[in-house]
Structure 1
Amino acid sequence: MITKAELSIPEYFDTQKVSEVWRVPYQKRAHQAKEWAVKYSIQPAATDKKQICLLIIDAQNTFCLPEFELFVGGRSGSGAVDDSLRLCKFIYRNLHSITTIAPTMDTHTAMQIFHPIFWINDAGEHPLPAATLITLEDVQQGIWKVNPAVADSIAGGNYSALQKHALHYVQKLSDDGKYPLTIWPYHSMLGGIGHALVSAVEEAIFFHSIARNSQALFEIKGGNPLTENYSVLRPEVLDGPDGVSIAEKNAKFIDKLLGFDAVIIAGQAKSHCVAWTIDDLLTEILARDVKLAKKVYLLEDCTSPVVVPGVVDFTEAADAAFLRFAGAGMNVVQSTQSIDTWPGFSWLGF
């Protein structure tokens, strides 16, 4: 049996194609994955004595490719592309150690509370995406109001209820100390190319599934029109103005993650969906057993923060969040390091 450090990267992997969209040749890759398993004596994931989950957050075209809507460039300008390259290499090198890969899929339709069409001002204009934060004061003063034309699609024509919800929503964000409501460009649109996984990442996940006989654990998030859903574990707001539930935390997936012996986290964006997911996971850990934080590993070189040059830079906020996670007992690691050398991995018995 080989050691964890001995797997190589398949010859078909083309580093120059990580920033492109293309069709994965599934049948060919499946055949190669079976050959790979034989060559390296890779056993089915069901035989793993220690269960390792790689949680990949929103590695979708919309966030990871430069020509798409919400490319996460970070300060380098090529952040998510570089992250995807390192992530693919990490998957291939550690194919025999990763039990399950869990990709999350940010999933939206046009009429959602964070898209321009949801809001309107007295001049009949929609807010500019990526440049508009809607605060509690904005809604209280009527600077931004719910677009009456969307009420039929979202609230059965009840515009007053929808406006009441909007006020409650920004109030709740303010009270809970969350980011103000950001108006984002239309992105991760269900059925669109932007919604799809980055081709190179999809290919690596598929190869892993076949080589290890392990179904990828896809998690869909973000489809509720009345709330943001940065974290895959829970929406930003769970109730409406009358206390009636509009959403709930993803208890089943939380239990699934915490059932693994180790959870490795990567994806986009470090400042938003990644940070919010980790924060929610930490909240669950602190409520159950603080020692569970030791089983969480954050691939810091496989995630980048949102940076819109001249508009906003979330780098410092993202870095501060990761420092807080490390202070709580989670492990901040690099994908280029052997997992055998990661801090605390001996605690898991690897």
Structure 2
Amino acid sequence: MKRHLLIIDPQEDFCNPSGALFVPGAERDIPRIAALLSQPLAAVHVTLDTHHVLDIAHPLWWRDSDGNPPAPFTIIDELTRWHAADPAHQAQSAAYVAALAQNGRYPLCIWPPHCLIGSAGHAVAAELFAALCDWEARTGQSVDYVRKGENPFTEHYSAIAADVPDPSDPATLPNQALLSALQEADEILVCGEAGSHCVANTVRDLVAHGIPAQKLTLLTDCFSPVPGFEALQSTFLSELTAVGAKITGG
């Protein structure tokens, strides 16, 4: 049996209590994920949330009429209060908010700047990184690292495609290389952070792009939700079990 391990965004900013967007429970998920690497695995895929400081989901992008940025966790689902700090970005920003309302994805949430390119918070959590290096040395295979989120004009919760793909930017379009690799698996173990957002939307996109839900095993003791968004994780798990995905863990 070809078993693949798909680890979503196991980065310091999410998994370290001092991280910029710490997900409580992630610090306990990491040792359990690291232990999975002792199992026979045909491939290991690790996604990396990857952002610039100036990003449509970070406070610097937006201003109110008094020139103040939104606080982290502000939801921007209409533009009566908020406008792009750079007037050159206003039309595209307004179109993006409208596109999110139409496509049924999550509304725009303003996050603390996190997983910034070149920062310590972008790195894989140290305990897991050591286990990944050991897996590479032991098996002679390379971990498949997949970056997502570098386009500042769209969110990229899913490792498969951006929330609003940009036809001019291939990095926002469906990741055919990752999809093709996962199609070869008999079972895909899914874990990482956060269960309410990046895990949920990656898995939804896997199924939408032809990966049979029956191949997916969701390791619920190896992912946690962003506080305040627990219902999103619960909804995701209900959706996926209804179409045949398996759940293991606590």
**Fold-level match, TM-score > 0.5?**
yes
Give CA-to-partner distance per residue, 1:247-292, whole Å, 9 cap, x none.
3121221121112222111000000000000000011127xxxxx2
* Partner of residue 298, structure 1: 218
Structure 2: any 5+ residue segments left out of the alignment? none
Matched, 1:70 2:13: no
Pairing partner for 2:94 from 149, 153, 167: 167
- 5 Å-filtered alignment, 1:1-350, equals 50-73=1-24, 79-92=25-38, 94=39, 97-130=40-73, 132-136=74-78, 139=79, 141=80, 143-148=81-86, 159=88, 162-239=89-166, 245-246=168-169, 247-285=172-210, 292-307=212-227, 313-334=228-249
* Contact 2:114–2:121 (Cα < 8 Å) also in 1: yes
Give CA-to-partner distance per residue, 1:159-194, whole Å, 9 cap, x none.
1xx211111101111111222101110100110100
* Contact 2:63–2:85 (Cα < 8 Å) also in 1: yes
RMSD between superposed Cα atoms in Å: 1.4
Q: Which amino acid aligns with 2:77?
A: T
- In percent, how many aligned pairs have the same letter? 33
* Contact 2:62–2:83 (Cα < 8 Å) also in 1: yes
User: Whole-Å Cα distance in 1 between the matches of residues 231 and 54 of structure 2?
Assistant: 31
Equivalent residue pairs, number:
248
Bigger radius of gyration among the two: 1
- SS of 1:285's equivalent in the other structure is coil
User: Whole-Å Cα distance in 1 between the matches of residues 57 and 114 of structure 2?
Assistant: 10
Q: Which amino acid aligns with 1:261?
A: D
Higher relative contact order (CA closer than 8 Å, sequence separation 6+): 2
* Contact 2:6–2:191 (Cα < 8 Å) also in 1: yes
Quote the offset at 1:320 in angstroms.
Answer: 1.8
User: Whole-Å Cα distance in 2 between the matches of residues 259 and 284 of structure 1?
Assistant: 14
User: Whole-Å Cα distance in 2 between the matches of residues 128 and 64 of structure 1?
Assistant: 22
TM-score, normalization by structure 1: 0.68
* Contact 2:154–2:164 (Cα < 8 Å) also in 1: yes
- SS of 1:218's equivalent in the other structure is strand
Structure 1: any 5+ residue segments left out of the alignment? 1-49, 74-78, 152-158, 287-291, 308-312, 336-350
* Contact 2:160–2:173 (Cα < 8 Å) also in 1: no
TM-score, normalization by structure 2: 0.95
User: Whole-Å Cα distance in 1 between the matches of residues 105 and 44 of structure 2?
Assistant: 29
